[in-house]
Each structure stands twice: as C-alpha cells, then as structure tokens.
C-alpha cells in the first residue's frame, strides 16, 4: 500500500534554525536552495524522523535511538529540536513526532510519538520502540536499519565514493545483502563450539581420570568374591579343630592336675632339702666362727698381760725421774740467788768506774770550751775592728759621691739651658754667641763623661762596702751567739762536774778493776753450773713427758683390748645359741621331708607320663593348626577389609566415570554438530558472496542501461571487490569514471540490494548525488516509480537563499 509525504515541520535541526514547515504535493519533490541553506539538513531530518536512525557504526550497523549521532542532527546553538512528519495513506494520516534535547555536552531523545488519524478515530502511540514497531507495519518497511541504507544516499556518505571511515565495499555489501549475519553467526558459533569443545575435553579428561578406578573396581569386586569363598572354607576347618581341642582339653586338665601335684610336691621336697643343706652349712660356719672367736680371746688376754707389765715398769721409772728433777731444781735456785748477788756487786763496781771516766771527760770538755771561747772572742774583736774601718770608708765614699753628683747635676743643667733655649740665654736673656755656645758644649762634654764615670764607680764602691758591712754584721752576730752558747755549756759542765765529784767514793781505779775481774770470774763459774743444771733438768723433763705419754698410750691399749675381749665373748655366746637353734630346725625339716616323700609315692602310682606326653603333643599340634588357620582367616579378613575400603573409595569415582563418559559423548556429539552447522553457515556465506557479486554486477549494468548509459558494456565486481567497468571496449576503474556514472553505480547497487531483500522502499532520497542530465534523471525517476517508489526527494542547488519544495 502506497503512502506519500504531505507535510514536514522542522525545528532547530541541522542548518534549519527556528521552526519551518514544508508541504509535499507530488511523488517527486525537488528540495531547492542555495548552498548551506539547509537542503541536506531537511533530508536528514526526514530520514531520522521516519526511521529513528542516524549514522553508522564501525561494523556498518545503523545507530538507532539514543545511540544515533543526535548531536550532528540538532542545530549547534539550540537546546531542543524536533521534526513532525505527516504521511498520507489511503484512509488515514500518520503524524510522526520526534524530539532531540541537548543536556550539557550530550543530546538525548525527547518525546517520540506517532499519531494515526482516521475519519473515525485517532490513535496515539508513544515511545521510541513502540513508534518504530508501528511504523514498520504502517509504512511497509520491515527493516528500518536496512531502509536507512537504501533510502538515503547522501552527499557525505555517498556509496563507492565516500564510505564511512574504515569501510570496505566488501563489508558494506555484506551488510546490505545480509551476508554479515551468516558470517557473524559463523564467528559467534565458533566461540560456542570452543566452549562446547572445552567442556567435552573437560568431561573426557575427567572420565579418563576415573577410568582406572572403574577397572580397579571390577578387579577388586572379583577378588572380594574369591576371598569370601576362601574364608568360608577356612572357617569350616577351624570349627573341626575347635571341637577336637574341646574333647582333648578335659583329659589334659586331669593329667595336668596330677602332674602339677607331683611337680608341686617335688618342688616342696627340693625346697626343704635345700633348706636343710643351708642349715647344715650354717651350723658348720658357726662352729668355725666359735673356734676363731676363742683363739682371738686367748690372744687378746696375752696382749693385755704384756701391756699391764709395761705400764707398771713405766710408772716406776716416772717416780724416780720426778725425784731427780726436784733435787736439781733446789740446787738451781740456790745458784741463781748467789748469781744475783754477784751481778749486783759487779754492777756497782762498773757504775763507779763509769762515773770516774765521765768525770775525766767532763774536765777535758770544760778545758776545751774555755779555749774555744777565748778564740772566738779574739776573732770577734778583729771583726769589730774591720767593721769600724769599713763604716768610716763608706762615709767617706758617700761624701765624695755627693760632691761628684752635684758637679754632674750642674753640668747637666748647663746642657739643658742650651738645649731648651736655642736662641738666647735663659738667665741673662741675651742672644747666644753660636761659636761660644758650640765651644762651651765641646768643652763640657768630656767633663760630663768623666763625672758620670766617677759617679758610677763611686756608686759601685759604696754598694760593695755596704754589702761587706752587712756580711760583717752577720758574722759578728753569729760569733756572739756561738760565744753565748759555749758559755752556757761551760756553766752546765761545771755544775755536772761538781755533782759527780759529790757522788764519787774516792777509791782508786786499779782497786775497782781488780774487784771487777774477780767478780766476773765468779759469775762465769756460777753461770756455767746453772746452765748445766738447766740442761739436765730439760732432759729429765723430756724423759718425764715421754714416759707420761707412753703410760697414757698403754692405758688406752689396755682399754681397747679389754673391750675387744668383751666383744668376742658376746659373739661366742651368740654363735653357741644360734647353733642350738639351727639344730632344732634341722630335725623338724627332716621330719617334713619324709612325710612329703610318702605322699609323692602315692600320687605317682596313679599318673601315666607317656600318655600325658602324647596327648600334649597332639593338643599342641592342633593348637598350631588353629593358630595357622586363624592367621589365614585374619589375613583374608584384612584383605577383604582393604579391598572393601578401596571399593568404597573408588565406587563414586567409577560412577562418576560413567556419568562423565556419557557427558563427554553428548558434548562430543554437540561439538561435531556445531562443526557441521558452522560448516554449512560458512558455505552459505561464501556462496552468497559469489552470488551477490554476480547479481550486483548484472543489476548495476541493467540499471545503467535503463538510465541511458548504453556505451557501458560490462560492470564487474571482482574477488577483491574492485569495481571495473568496460566502456567502449576499454576496462576502467571506478576512479577514472565521471561522478555521474559513479553515483549511478552506487544507486544501482543499493536498488539491487533492495531487490535481493525483496524490499523496495516507498521513499528514496537523492541528496546531491545526481550529476546527471535531465533525460537520465527522468529515466531514473520513471524506473523508481515503476519499482513502486512513491516518494522521491531530490536536492538541487540554486541561488534561492531559503529552501523550498518544488514539485516535478
């Protein structure tokens, strides 16, 4: 069903500022106006208003809704823009309203509304998707995105001459002809296939990992079955042995009891006998000990006797020694007394002799002192004379020095006058006679030097004399001191001498010396005797100490021997009592042994040892068999337990193996199916490409012929999607063709695509792409109208400042 554009109201879209309304009256409408008057803006606005699409993505998909390049649609300085398209159909009118709102740097879709007005009713549809869905059915445009490609052939995205950035004809055609969906499906299903393959490999690996468990499970189950039957057989054998052992054990118990009784009695008899042997051995040992103890006592008694004899002899010696010592001590005391008297007399004589000697020495010293005092006094008088002489000389030198110093001062004064008053005499105030002044100075200079030298010498003499006087004074003082000291000593000696003379007995020295010699001799004799006595006493005292020590030692020995004798006596008594007790025990045990031997004989008569041995051997053999069987059963049960545990452990894995194997099979089938599907899709895409190249080449050639380009003999799209045109027998590339033919080829390709899709749009926009002569334009319009296009918009540039719509 055909439809026609009747009215378009555009507000602030593209180059159209403000609100403008355009009326469309026939099938073909020319949009005319000056350059930049807004022709293309109007066409774009109409395309956007009809489809809601504007712009292409990198993969040639159309940008729809808010994804569309709305900012290129809206007027740059406007915050809001809109379009209102009125379309007339047979019995109703469609009014499409779309709005763009600028928000900051971005533009968003505003109100979107479709009003369907009929005679009877008015329907309003709102919302982008709802409006588009309704438009698809009302305008018979099943694919709005495809319609975008076909109905618009604008100047700036002119097919073949200006494609979107990065676009190729190959992919553009693939998109237009719908091959892309097969290629995309092939690619995307590749991902699905990889996922399926990954999962298949995963399940396969998991199954492989568990395969061993499955095999092992079967093996273990077989082994468990075998071990169970083996265990049953062993258990049966074990039960037989058990019944045999039960019957044997009662017989064995009786025989064991008898055997135990015999063994017990034998053991008791043996114990008693061994005890008896022990007692006899002890008795013998005690007898021996008694003998030894008696001999010890005898030996100790003898030792005691010897010690007593020694002790008595030593005590006698000690008494004699004590008597000797007391006699010697009496003699020593009398000699000491005599010696003391002799020493006193000798000391007295020696004192008298010492006093005599001292008296003589003091007299000598007194004489010496008198002589020294005399000498010092004569020396003092010499010194005093010398002092007076020096004193006189000093006075004289001082006097002379004063005179010389006065003369020198007078000369110095004359010099200072002459120096201080160079022009006139300071006394008489008369001017100096220069010659006289010089002569005076020359005459006075030697005088001054002589006086200066004499004064210096006199000063030195005075100093020397003063020092000598001081030294003499010191010496005189020193001699005076020494004289007074010696005089004091002389007086002292005199006093001492008178004292000594008073003490003296006036005996002669010779007499005193003779008495002293005889006293000394007597003292020597007495001293030697005293030393002898002292030595004897020391010897005797040492002997006494030794004897006393010996006596103490002998007494200690005596006490020790006596205690040893008492100890041996006690031991002897203890041995004798022990021997009598042991003899009583021996008799009692001998009696018990004879009783036990009688009882043993009675029990032995009722016991067969050979029979007991045989039965025992048989029993042991059966016990061994039972142990062996039990070990085997235990081993089997252990193995069974191990295998059962293994089975439990791997059972889950074995089950998982089955599950994963099934899954792997299923996913393997899925992978193969996917490979197959992808192979088919790839084949379809490749076939379509080949077909489409042929179809498009043929359709474009027919289209060019229909427009009147009859000189073009062939149009070909090669495998690399290069377009080649044969014109008048010459093969040309697209670039070498004129713009009109290029545009015609582009339009032809789009129409071919539309035909392929079974979709010829009712509106075709030719925006600045017709550089054809009027006959060809007319032919194109006729062709399009024949194909069912009911709206053709063609933009044309002219001098008119504002755009206007002109009907054909």
Partner 1 sequence: MAEEILREKLREEVEGLSHEEEDELLNLINRLIELSILREKRRCKELVLEFIESSGGKFRGHFR
The binding site for partner 1 (CB under 8 A) comprises: 178, 181-182, 184-185, 188-189, 191-192, 195-196, 666-667, 669-670, 672-677, 679-681, 683-684, 687-688, 691, 756
**CB of residue 762 to partner 1, shortest distance in Å:** 23
Residue whose CB is less far from partner 1, 109 or 189:
189
CA distances from 120 to 113, 123, 394 (A): 20, 10, 177
Give min distance, CB of 668 to partner 1, in A.
10
> Distances in Å between the alpha carbon of 263 and those of 258, 270, 607?
8, 10, 12
Between 204 and 490, whose beta carbon lies closer to partner 1?
A: 204
Cβ proximity of 46 and 762 under 8 Å: no
CA distance 96 to 752: 29
188, 215, 682 from 671: Cα distances, Å:
14, 28, 16
CB of 700 to partner 1, least distance (A): 18
Closest CB 680 distance from partner 1, rounded Å: 5
Least distance in Å: CB of 169 to partner 1? 20
Q: Which is nearer to partner 1, 225 or 669 (CB)?
A: 669
Q: What are φ and ψ of residue 757, in 5° steps?
A: -85, 0
Residue 60 falls in which region: left (phi positive, over 0), alpha (psi -120 to 50) or beta: left
Please, are residues 182 and 681 in contact by the beta-carbon 8 Å criterion? Answer: yes
251: Cβ contacts below 8 Å, ≥ 6 apart = 615
Smaller CB separation from partner 1, 279 or 688:
688
Q: How many other C-beta atoms are found inside a 10 Å radius of the C-beta of residue 122?
A: 12
Q: Which is nearer to partner 1, 659 or 673 (CB)?
A: 673
Task: Report the sign of the C-alpha dihedral through residues 257, 262, 266, 272, in that order.
Answer: positive
Q: How far is the CB of 48 from partner 1 (least distance, A)?
A: 24
Decide whether 35 or 758 has the Cβ nearer to partner 1: 758
5 or 688: CB nearest partner 1: 688
**Phi, psi angles (nearest 5°) of residue 63:** -85, 120
- Residue with Cβ nearer partner 1 (22 or 60): 60
- The smaller minimum CB distance to partner 1, of residues 66 and 687, is found at 687
Nearest residue (CB) to partner 1, 155 versus 199: 199
Q: What separation in angstroms does the CA of 45 have from each of 14, 83, 102, 313? A: 8, 7, 16, 169
Task: DSSP for 54-118, please give it.
Answer: EEE-TTSPEEEGGGS-HHHHB-TT-SEEEEEEEEE-SSEEEEEEEEEEEETTEEEEEEEEEEEEE
Min dist CB 656 to partner 1, Å, is 20
CA distance 537 to 534: 5
Dihedral sign, Cα of residue 323, residue 324, residue 328, residue 329: negative
Q: Which is nearer to partner 1, 666 or 804 (CB)?
A: 666
Residue among 185 and 633 whose Cβ is closer to partner 1:
185
In the complex, minimum distance from the CB of residue 673 to partner 1, in angstroms, rounded to a whole number: 6
What is the 3-class SS of 299-348, one letter each residue? Answer: HHHHHHHHHHHHHHHHHHHHHHHHHHHHHHHHHHHHHHHHHHHHHHHHHH
Complex with partner 1: residue 386 or 682, whichever CB lies closer: 682
Minimum distance from residue 199 beta carbon to partner 1 (Å): 8
Instruction: Tell the burial category of 400 from Cβ atoms under 10 Å away from its Cβ (0-12, 13-18, 19+).
Output: middle
Is the separation of the CB atoms in 701 and 715 below 8 Å? Answer: yes
Pick between residue 664 and residue 769 the one whose CB is nearest to partner 1: 664
Q: Closer CB to partner 1, residue 149 or residue 346?
A: 149
Rank residues 106 and 687 by Cβ distance to partner 1 and give the closer one: 687
Q: State the nearest-atom distance from the C-beta of 674 to partner 1, in Å.
A: 6
> Is 183 within 8 Å of 647 (Cβ atoms)?
no
Residue closer to partner 1 (CB basis): 152 or 186? 186
Please answer whether residues 212 and 654 qualify as being in contact, where contact means their C-beta atoms are separated by less than 8 angstroms: no
How far apart, in whole angstroms, are the C-alpha atoms of residue 493 and residue 510?
A: 26
User: DSSP letter string over 647-693?
Assistant: HHHHHHHHHHHHHHHHHHHHHHHHHHHHHHHHHHHHHHHHHHHHHHH
Shortest CB 696 distance to partner 1, Å: 13
- Tell me how far, at minimum, the Cβ of 177 lies from partner 1, in Å: 9
State the residue for tokens 């059972």: 651
- State the nearest-atom distance from the C-beta of 184 to partner 1, in Å: 6
What percent of the residues of the chain are helix, what percent strand, and what percent coil, each to the nearest 5?
A: 75, 15, 15
Work out the widest C-alpha separation in the chain, in whole angstroms. 205
Which contiguous run of DSSP H or E holds residue 352? helix 179-420
SS3 119: coil
Least separation in angstroms between CB 744 and partner 1: 25
Give CA–CA dist 107/103, Å, rounded: 6
Nearest approach, Cβ of 198 to partner 1 (angstroms)?
A: 11
Give Cβ neighbours of residue 518 (< 8 Å, ≥ 6 apart). none
Which of these, 242, 241, 229, lies nearest to 636 by C-alpha position? 229
Shortest distance in whole angstroms from residue 59 CB to partner 1: 12
Q: State how far the Cα of 656 lies from the Cα of 205, in Å rounded to an integer.
A: 12
Q: How far is the CB of 701 from partner 1 (least distance, A)?
A: 19
């Amino acid at each position: 069903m055909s439809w026609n554009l009747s009215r378009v109201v555009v507000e602030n879209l593209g180059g159209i500022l403000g609100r403008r309304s355009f009326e469309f009256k026939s099938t073909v409408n020319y949009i005319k106006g000056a350059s930049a008057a807004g022709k293309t803006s109007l066409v774009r606005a109409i395309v956007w208003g009809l489809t809601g699409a504007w712009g292409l993505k990198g993969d040639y998909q159309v940008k729809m809704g808010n994804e569309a390049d709305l900012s290129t649609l809206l007027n740059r300085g406007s915050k809001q823009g809109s379009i209102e398209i009125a379309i007339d159909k047979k019995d109703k009118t469609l009014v499409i309203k779309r709005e763009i709102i600028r928000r900051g740097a971005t533009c968003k879709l505003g109100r979107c509304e479709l009003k369907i007005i009929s005679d009877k009713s008015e329907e309003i549809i709102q919302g982008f998707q709802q409006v588009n869905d309704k438009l698809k059915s009302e305008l018979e445009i099943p694919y709005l995105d495809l319609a975008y490609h076909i109905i618009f052939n604008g100047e700036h995205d002119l097919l073949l001459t200006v494609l979107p950035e990065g676009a190729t004809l190959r992919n553009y055609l693939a998109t237009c002809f719908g091959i892309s969906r097969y290629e995309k499906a092939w690619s995307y299903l590749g991902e699905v296939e990889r996922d399926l393959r990954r999962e298949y490999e995963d399940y396969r690996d998991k199954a492989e990992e568990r395969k061993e468990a499955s095999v092992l499970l079967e093996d273990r189950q077989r082994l468990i079955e075998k071990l169970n039957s083996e265990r049953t057989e062993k258990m049966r054998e074990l039960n037989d042995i058990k019944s045999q052992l039960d019957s044997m054990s009662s017989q064995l118990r009786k025989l064991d009891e008898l055997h135990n009784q015999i063994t017990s009695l034998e053991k008791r008899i043996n114990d008693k006998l061994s005890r008896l042997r022990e007692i006899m051995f002890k008795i013998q040992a005690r007898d021996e000990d008694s003998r030894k103890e008696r001999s010890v006592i005898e030996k100790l008694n003898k030792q005691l006797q010897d010690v007593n004899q020694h002790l008595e002899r030593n005590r006698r010696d000690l008494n004699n020694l004590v008597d000797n010592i007391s006699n010697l001590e009496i003699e020593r005391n009398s000699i000491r007394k005599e010696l003391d008297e002799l020493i006193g007399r000798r000391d007295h004589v020696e004192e008298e002799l010492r006093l005599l000697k001292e008296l003589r020495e003091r007299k000598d010293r007194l004489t010496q002192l008198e002589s020294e005092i005399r000498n010092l006094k004569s020396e003092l008088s010499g010194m005093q004379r010398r002092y007076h002489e020096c004193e006189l000389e000093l006075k004289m030198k001082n006097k002379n020095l004063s005179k010389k110093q006065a003369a020198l001062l007078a000369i110095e004064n004359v010099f200072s006058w002459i120096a201080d008053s160079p022009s006139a005499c300071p006394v008489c105030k008369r001017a100096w006679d220069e010659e006289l002044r010089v002569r005076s100075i020359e005459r006075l200079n030697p005088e001054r030097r002589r006086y200066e030298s004499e004064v210096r010498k006199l000063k030195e003499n005075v100093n020397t004399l003063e020092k000598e006087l001081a030294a003499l004074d010191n010496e005189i003082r020193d001699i005076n001191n020494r004289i007074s000291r010696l005089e004091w000593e002389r007086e002292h000696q005199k006093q001492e001498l008178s004292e000594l003379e008073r003490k003296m007995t006036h005996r002669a020295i010779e007499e005193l010396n003779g008495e002293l010699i005889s006293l000394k001799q007597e003292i020597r004799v007495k001293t030697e005797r005293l030393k002898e006595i002292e030595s004897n006493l020391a010897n005797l005292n040492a002997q006494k100490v030794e004897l006393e020590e010996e006596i103490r030692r002998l007494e200690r020995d005596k006490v020790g021997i006596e205690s040893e004798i008492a100890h041996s006596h006690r031991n002897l008594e203890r041995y004798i009592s022990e021997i009598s007790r042991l003899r009583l025990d021996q008799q009692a045990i001998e009696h018990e042994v004879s009783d036990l031997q009688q009882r043993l004989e009675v029990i032995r008569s009722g016991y067969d040892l050979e029979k007991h041995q045989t039965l025992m051997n048989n029993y042991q053999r059966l016990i061994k068999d039972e142990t062996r069987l039990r070990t085997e059963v235990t081993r089997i049960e252990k193995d069974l337990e191990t295998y059962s545990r293994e089975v439990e452990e791997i059972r889950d894995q074995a089950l998982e193996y089955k599950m994963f194997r099934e899954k792997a099979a299923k996913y393997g089938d899925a992978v193969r199916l996917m490979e197959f599907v992808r192979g088919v899709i790839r084949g379809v895409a490749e076939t379509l490409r080949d077909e489409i190249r042929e179809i498009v080449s043929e359709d474009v050639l027919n289209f060019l012929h229909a427009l009147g380009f009859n000189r073009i003999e062939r149009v070909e799209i090669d495998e690399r999607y290069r377009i080649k045109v044969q014109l008048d027998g010459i093969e040309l590339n697209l670039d070498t063709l004129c713009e009109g033919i290029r545009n015609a080829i582009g339009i032809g390709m789009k129409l071919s695509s539309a035909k392929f899709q079974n979709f010829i749009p009712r509106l075709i926009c030719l925006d600045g792409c017709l550089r054809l002569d009027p006959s060809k334009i007319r032919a194109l319009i006729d062709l399009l109208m024949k194909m069912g296009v009911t709206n053709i918009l063609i933009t044309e540039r002219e001098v008119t400042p504002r755009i206007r719509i002109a009907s054909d």
